[in-house]
Amino acid sequence: MARTSAYQLQIGTDSDDANARILLADGALVAVLVELSDEGHGEDRGKWTIEATFGLRHERVPDIFPSLESAADWVSEHICEQRFNLGADVVRLA
Amino acid sequence: MTNPSTAKLAPEPLGGENPLIKKLGRYVPLTEEERAALNTLSCSTRKHNQGADLIAEGDRPECVFLMMEGWAFRYKQLEDGSRQIMAYLIPGDLCDIQIFLFDKMDHSIGLLSDAKVVKIPSGDLLKMMDRYPRIERALLWATLVDEATLREWLLNVGQRSALQRLAHLFCELCVRLSVVGLVDDDETFALPLTQAELADTTGMTAVHVNRSLQRLRRDKLISTQRGKLTILNFDRLAEVAGFDESYLHTDGPPVEQKLRSRLDRHM
């Protein structure tokens, strides 16, 4: 089983989508998740996207997830087979 | 057969004229007889609805499709539903004039909007090309331009940045649509594409397309309104994209350019 951890940080996307989480499994970065905050996203505002994945082999990554938890669950299911704790343990990097 | 150097050229295209004639007329100056032949070829249009496939991968191609109104697209799809769009077909475009040489389609052609399409039996097209060698040359020219466009799209997806991919696509569409008279004076044209379709064309996610469109809008390069796109500053957009329209060869073959200028002098 992978040891997972999550960090909160700001990300530069050339838009107002700045609130991000990076997910690590056994100390290695596996995914970057970003909240869709820019008003250009219309009704998708507040939902989350998986901006980047590392180590994913086959799957097509869905574009948009209804919540941070559902995006992280997708990463668990397809990359590291271990759930992420996204609550109080998340370390703020910025 | 009419000798093109002595034949009377038909008047300049009027609005609403057959887009195939407008397009081929850019490649070769067409005589009235040639225009009439092209009009006959494209007279029986049929309406099709957005979302329908004109022909699907695996089907046997028995005719050539000519777009008279609306947009179509070529695409291939993976088992997981991922799709790559390889071309947009706009009014005046023919889908593969020699496709009948294949026994099965290796890709699908679907409709991005409601459309009017002519199904031309391959035999009719071959007969026309035999009878009118200059039309044949213009059609082969159009085919070569389609291939050049595909090369440019490959370069787009493989090497250009997200912003450049969209900027390049919009510049190209503006040039192609203006050939068939579908761009307004203020460089506004109908763009019947969703962000998901733009994503499948440019190899980006829909989220990334959305952000890039926002950037182009913020930089006052484009504006969008209900299915229409306006290029606010073509030169700057082309500069961002690294767009050079020479691959679209809109001036026609050198021999025809010479003929055209000779005819212009005598008219």
User: pTM of the predicted model, to two decimals?
Assistant: 0.88
Please give the average per-residue pLDDT across A9-25, as a whole number: 95
Please give the average per-residue pLDDT across B234-263, as a whole number: 82
In this complex, which of A14, A17, A59 lies closest to B215 when CB atoms are compared? A14
What is the spatial distance between Cα B244 and Cα B199, in angstroms, rounded to a whole number? 22
Centre a 10 Å sphere on the Cβ of residue B243 and count the other Cβ atoms it contains: 21
pLDDT tens per residue, range A54-63: 987 777 899 9
pLDDT tens per residue, range A42-79: 999 999 999 999 987 777 899 999 999 999 999 999 88
Cβ distance A15 to B211 less than 8 Å, yes or no, reads yes
**Lookup: tokens for B211:** 């952000």
The pLDDT-based confidence of A94 (bands split at 50, 70, 90) is low
Nearest-neighbour CA in chain B from A18: distance (Å) = 12
ipTM for the predicted complex comes to 0.86
Name residue B19's amino acid.
P
**What pLDDT, on the 0 to 100 scale, is given for residue B257?**
63
Q: Is the pLDDT of residue B263 over 90?
A: no
**What pLDDT, on the 0 to 100 scale, is given for residue B5?**
44
Cβ distance A13 to B214 less than 8 Å, yes or no, reads no
Please give the average per-residue pLDDT across B226-249, as a whole number: 96
**Non-local CB neighbours of B248 within 8 Å, separated by 6+ positions:** B145, B148, B149, B172, B175, B176
pLDDT tens per residue, range B169-206: 999 999 999 999 999 999 999 999 999 999 999 999 99
**By the 8 A CB rule, do B79 and B134 touch?**
no
Mean of pLDDT over chain B: 90
Cβ distance A64 to B214 less than 8 Å, yes or no, reads no
- Which residues of chain A are within 8 Å of residue B81 when distances are taken between CB atoms? 60
- Which residues of chain A are within 8 Å of residue B207 when distances are taken between CB atoms? 17, 36, 41, 49, 63-64
**By the 8 A CB rule, do A60 and B80 touch?**
yes
Name residue B108's amino acid.
S
DSSP string, chain B: ---TTTSPBPPPPPTT--HHHHHHHHHSPPBHHHHHHHHHHT--EEEE-TT-EEE-TTPPP-EEEEEEES-EEEEEE-TTS-EEEEEEE-TT-EE-TTGGGSSS-SSEEEESS-EEEEEEEHHHHHHHHHH-HHHHHHHHHHHHHHHHHHHHHHHHHHHS-HHHHHHHHHHHHHHHHHHTT-S-TTSEEE----HHHHHHHHT--HHHHHHHHHHHHHTTSEEEETTEEEES-HHHHHHHHT--GGGG-TT--HHHHHHHHHHHHH-
In this complex, which of B78, B80, B207 lies closest to A49 when CB atoms are compared? B207
- Which residues of chain B are within 8 Å of residue A59 when distances are taken between CB atoms? 80
Q: Is the pLDDT of residue B60 over 60?
A: yes
B241 φ/ψ angles, rounded to the nearest 5 degrees: -80, -20
pLDDT tens per residue, range B134-174: 999 999 999 999 999 999 999 999 999 999 999 999 999 99
**By the 8 A CB rule, do B71 and B48 touch?**
no
Q: Is the pLDDT of residue B258 over 50?
A: yes
